[in-house]
Structure 1
Amino acid sequence: MTEPSQAEFWNERYAADEYLFGTAPNAFLAREAYRLTPGSKVLAVADGEGRNSVFLAQHGHRVVATDVSERALDKARALAERRGVQVEYRQADLAEWEWPAEAFDAVVGIFVQFAGPELRWDIFDGVHRSLKPCGLLLLEGYREEQLAYGTGGPPNIENLYTEEGLRRAFSAWEIELLDAYDAEIQEGTAHSGKSALIDLVARKRG
């Protein structure tokens, strides 16, 4: 039997009417959104059901959000409509997507850990390409210690972040925040409980 595609996998995960990760924004994004210039053009990658893109739009940003799952995008559009905001949603597989050059003031990536090491480097390169000079990246993910907690995230260690790995990946950037910590999170039914997190805020050099 062949493995399901990413689109098939996520369409199945998002099939229920409930919002798998809830409709409230990610806590790290809500906490650090003050760093964004008012009215920024923001790219939210692998945004799922729209909780983060809708939050950004509610705060006056011009938002483009991608996801591989059409089911997730349908739910995201419905959430945006209920909240009375506009977001441009695009179906995109980040393994194949052509990242636009210097198109965004900021990029947001929250738990984009479906990507193994090779794709992760491609995504980080794409983020750099898409940001304008001095553009900002807000990234949150799980650390390797998350495997012991089992409260969400991928089951394979190579998809998880380390502080050393992120410092190496963003060595040419200006790192404004790199914080590794454990915290209780509650994000729908999929992310719940004590978790090993790492937050990165990095600015593309001009």
Structure 2
Amino acid sequence: MDERFKWEQRYSQAKEPFYGHEPSPFLLRSLPLLPPRGRCLDAGGGEGRNAMFLAARGWEVLLVDLALAGVARARRHAAAQGWPLRLVVADLESNPLALGEGALDLVLAINFHSRRVVEGAMRWLRPGGALVVEGFTQEQLGRSSGGPQDPAVLWHPNELPRLVTPGLRLVWYEDRLVEDDDNPRHRGPKWVVRLVAVRPA
């Protein structure tokens, strides 16, 4: 199934936000490692649960997602709360962002498996800026507890540290089987990778 069509269906058919209203628990755990505020790219941000959490705390957030239905829901929610999100419908894999070097303080890729975005973060982040990644690894193949089932998309063991360490300093990395039910859509044991990396000041 076409990726855009899949997500359009998921978001448009869900009466409530597909991933709920609460931000990623990993984003919450990462907060002490991040700048207090600044400019953020929420890559593949869907309906905006993480973007709106950050906007409410004074961040200037650009959310980019390929699904119009998800971005439309984020726009409605942000407007109702008076949060000034920038929202763009685009496929980041085929339409790279024209962001200048040092333009951002934070790049989020939560459940968005994109090597292009991770590599771009090394240019986009200004000194002290952070990259936060959470996703699934190859070991998740065959499990029904969430994540894509395409081996070309899933992260390989230790792939993320190799991608980021030429330009960023690794401050959090885990690649393991977890039993938590952080996300109502991803219940049960799942093999996840989580990373926070910072551009040296």
TM-score, normalization by structure 1: 0.86
Query: What are the superposed Cα offsets for residues 13-65 of structure 1, whole Å, 9 maximum, x if unpaired?
Result: 21123211111111100111232222311111010011010011122211111
Aligned CA RMSD, in angstroms, stands at 1.9
Q: Residues 43 and 117 of structure 2 are in contact (CA less than 8 Å); yes or no, is this contact kept in structure 1?
A: no
Matched, 1:191 2:189: no
What is the Cα deviation at residue 76 of structure 1? Answer: 0.8
- 1:21-40 equivalences under 5 Å are 21-40=19-38
Query: What are the superposed Cα offsets for residues 170-195 of structure 1, whole Å, 9 maximum, x if unpaired?
Result: 2212101111231322424x322222
CA distance in 2, matches of 1:158, 1:7: 17
- Counterpart position of 1:107: 107
Q: In structure 2, which of residues 149, 157, 165 is the aligned counterpart of residue 155 of structure 1?
A: 149
Secondary structure class of the residue paired with 2:64: strand
Query: Structure 1 15/151 Cα, relative in aligned 2: closer, same or farther at 3 Å?
Result: same
TM-score, normalization by structure 2: 0.88
- 1:42-121 equivalences under 5 Å are 42-95=40-93, 96-101=95-100, 102-113=102-113, 115=114, 120=115
What is the Cα deviation at residue 7 of structure 1? Answer: 2.9
Count of matched residue positions in the alignment of Structure 1 and Structure 2:
196
What is the Cα deviation at residue 130 of structure 1? Answer: 1.7
Q: In structure 1, which of residues 17, 20, 24 is the aligned counterpart of residue 18 of structure 2?
A: 20
Q: Residues 186 and 193 of structure 1 are in contact (CA less than 8 Å); yes or no, is this contact kept in structure 2?
A: no
Query: Structure 1 61/34 Cα, relative in aligned 2: closer, same or farther at 3 Å?
Result: farther
Letter in 2 for 1:111: N
Percent of paired sites with the same residue = 29
Letter in 2 for 1:112: F
CA distance in 2, matches of 1:51, 1:8: 21
Matched, 1:202 2:200: no
CA distance in 2, matches of 1:158, 1:165: 13
CA distance in 1, matches of 2:182, 2:34: 25
- Counterpart position of 2:160: 166
